[in-house]
Amino acid sequence: MRRRTLVVAGVAGGSAALGIGAALWRARKRAASVDAEGPIDLWALSFVRVDGSPLSMAALRGHPLLLNFWATWCVPCAIEMPLLDSFARSVSSRGWNVLALAIDSAEPVRGFLAKRSLTLPIALAGAQGLDLSRSLGNTIGALPFTVAFATSGAAARRKLGPVDRSLLDSWTAFVQ
């Protein structure tokens, strides 16, 4: 009986190690493919706002920028949207821009916004947004993902997962 338990435990442990190894290998492979292609030039990109108007990222360069990647189906993303909206209102007078890039199509985003009173700028990025987030350091492609850019245009801070107000406030003190 003891031998049988050891064999089962060994097989289970080996399977778990293989699964973890495969996941790490895939994440490393994805990161390497982004590196091989070179980083995506954020400032050369354009997106479409929810209302259909164009948004050129070049227009946001030269000011600190908080860029958040989110999706309507992402529960932590939906929870943090009011915080990002409040943050956007509080830092706009200090020259900060805040942009939420939806990894979604227009209809789900419009439906999401119809149920909330958010004023922060939101643009549609679709699948291109996941590639962009990976090139900015989100090697596993998870959401939400937030990046703070300095006035120079360089990425200064990154956070995978939900942000909180104290983190955002610390970024505004550091990023200029």
Q: How far is CA 167 from CA 49, 59, 83, 126, 144, in A?
A: 27, 26, 12, 27, 15
Residue 26 burial (C-beta neighbours within 10 Å; 0-12, 13-18, 19+): exposed
Beta-sheet strands, E only, within 8-164? 46-49, 54-56, 65-70, 97-102, 122-124, 145-149, 155-160
pLDDT for res 105: 93
> Per-residue pLDDT tens for 108-154?
999 999 999 999 999 999 988 999 999 999 999 999 999 999 999 99
Exposed e or buried b for every residue in 68-91, given b needs 16+ CB within 10 A? bbbbbebeebbebbeebbebbeeb
Q: What is the domain extent for residue 10?
A: 1-38
In a shared domain, residues 72 and 152? yes
In a shared domain, residues 103 and 17? no
Mean pLDDT is lowest, of 20-24, 75-79, 106-110, 142-146, for: 20-24
CB atoms within 10 A of CB 113: 15
Closest CA to 59 of 105, 119, 121, 103: 121
Task: Give the largest CA-CA distance in the chain.
Answer: 71
In a shared domain, residues 22 and 90? no
In a shared domain, residues 74 and 21? no
In a shared domain, residues 77 and 117? yes
In a shared domain, residues 108 and 156? yes
In a shared domain, residues 147 and 65? yes
In a shared domain, residues 75 and 51? yes
- Are 162 and 80 in contact by the 8 Å Cβ rule? The answer is yes
Closest CA to 70 of 30, 129, 110: 129
In a shared domain, residues 24 and 48? no
> Per-residue pLDDT tens for 29-74?
444 444 445 568 999 999 999 999 999 999 999 999 999 999 999 9
Task: Provide the number of structural domains found in the chain.
Answer: 2
- Are 118 and 85 in contact by the 8 Å Cβ rule? The answer is yes
Task: Give Cα 102 distance to the centre of its chain.
Answer: 9
CATH code where residue 76 lies: 3.40.30.10
In a shared domain, residues 47 and 16? no
In a shared domain, residues 83 and 23? no
In a shared domain, residues 128 and 170? yes
What is this structure's pTM? 0.78
User: What does the CA dihedral 61, 70, 108, 59 come to, rounded to 10 degrees?
Assistant: 0
